[in-house]
Amino acid sequence: MLLCVYNTHSKNNMPNKLYKKIAKSTKKHPSKQNIKIAVDNCIFTVINDKLYILLIQMKKKPYTNKWALPGGLIGDKETSHNAALRILNEQTAVSDVYLEQLFTFDRPDRDPFGRVVSVAHFALIPNRGINLRTISKYADVKWQRVSDLPKLAYDHDEIVKYAKKRLAWKIKYTNVVWSLLPEKFTFTELQNVYETILGKRLDRRNFRKKFLALKLIKSTGKKVMRGVHRPAMTYQFKSREAKIVDIL
């Protein structure tokens, strides 16, 4: 099942005729404003019950070999949402993604190459055998444990900090967990995601009770072995769409 999540602010009504009209009339804004606008993605996933974000390694000075969030300028006819999807696709080729606008970072000195305002985005993807690919612009790409982040380029430390907060909130008050999990998962796996993100242990019985009461997931009827012990029932989400539900 392929899934794209769009927020309502990036409506899909962008007829090409309109682009042309816009292109023709762009001189009507008198200002000599010289600011570029970009997108940076904070992409989370869970691998072996640990939380990771995607980092790229930069080539250009003064950030040579520094790690940073993947990003890039927005196209003239592109929404920031689509720019974020495009950039996400450059590294991951995933399609099953939860994506939302995070915050716009605009300190005038945040980019040494000139004034660039960044519309940071926040993505959650399940770790289903994603093949990372490095594009020529970057030296490398990798998944980095969130609990062990290096100092990042630009103001990306700040963006990640903000994104972590948003993630903790999201997971508590919405059902976005589905976007971090494989299609079938055990209750322990589900709980581990919560414990990792919230940074605290939860009572197994209470967690199970509460989560089942939300009626978001159903048993698949199949059990799975996850080690030398009793097999665990697997579950799946009944529906994969964004909802606001008070979870924990």
Partner DNA sequence: CCAAAAGTGTTAACGCTACACCCATGT
Partner DNA sequence: ACATGGGTGTAGCGTTAACACTTTTGG
Give contact residues for its own copies (rule: CB under 8 A). 1-16, 18-19, 22-23, 25-31, 33-37, 72-83, 85-86, 89, 95, 100-101, 103-109, 112-117, 119, 137, 158, 162, 240-242
Other beta carbons less than 10 A from residue 235's beta carbon? 23
> Is the four-CA dihedral 147, 153, 155, 156 of positive or negative sign?
negative
- Considering just the CA atoms, what is the radius of gyration of the chain in Å? 20
Q: Is residue 2 part of the contact set for DNA (CB under 7 A)?
A: no
Instruction: In angstroms, give the least distance from the CB of 224 to DNA.
Output: 9
Tokens of residue 151, six digits? 């100092």
Is 208 or 240 the residue whose CB approaches DNA more closely? 208
**33 close to 45: Cβ distance less than 8 angstroms:** no
Q: Is residue 188 part of the contact set for DNA (CB under 7 A)?
A: yes
Q: Is residue 203 part of the contact set for DNA (CB under 7 A)?
A: yes
Query: Per CB under 7 A, which region of 29-37, 49-57, 134-142, 203-211 contacts DNA?
Result: 203-211
Q: Is residue 27 part of the contact set for DNA (CB under 7 A)?
A: no
Residue in 50, 67, 47, 49 with CA at minimum distance from that of residue 58:
67
Tokens of residue 188, six digits? 């322990």
Residue in 234, 201, 196, 203 with CA at minimum distance from that of residue 217:
234
Residue in 155, 223, 159 with CA at minimum distance from that of residue 188:
223
Instruction: In angstroms, give the least distance from the CB of 4 to DNA.
Output: 28
Tokens of residue 121, six digits? 């985005």
Instruction: In angstroms, give the least distance from the CB of 159 to its own copies.
Output: 9
Residue 108 interacting partner from DNA, its own copies, none (CB closer than 5 to 8 Å by kind): its own copies
Q: Is residue 231 part of the contact set for DNA (CB under 7 A)?
A: yes
Q: Tell me phi and psi for residue 244, to 5 degrees.
A: -100, 120
Residue 203 interacting partner from its own copies, DNA, none (CB closer than 5 to 8 Å by kind): DNA
Binding site for DNA (CB under 7 A): 186-188, 203-206, 208-210, 223, 225-233, 246
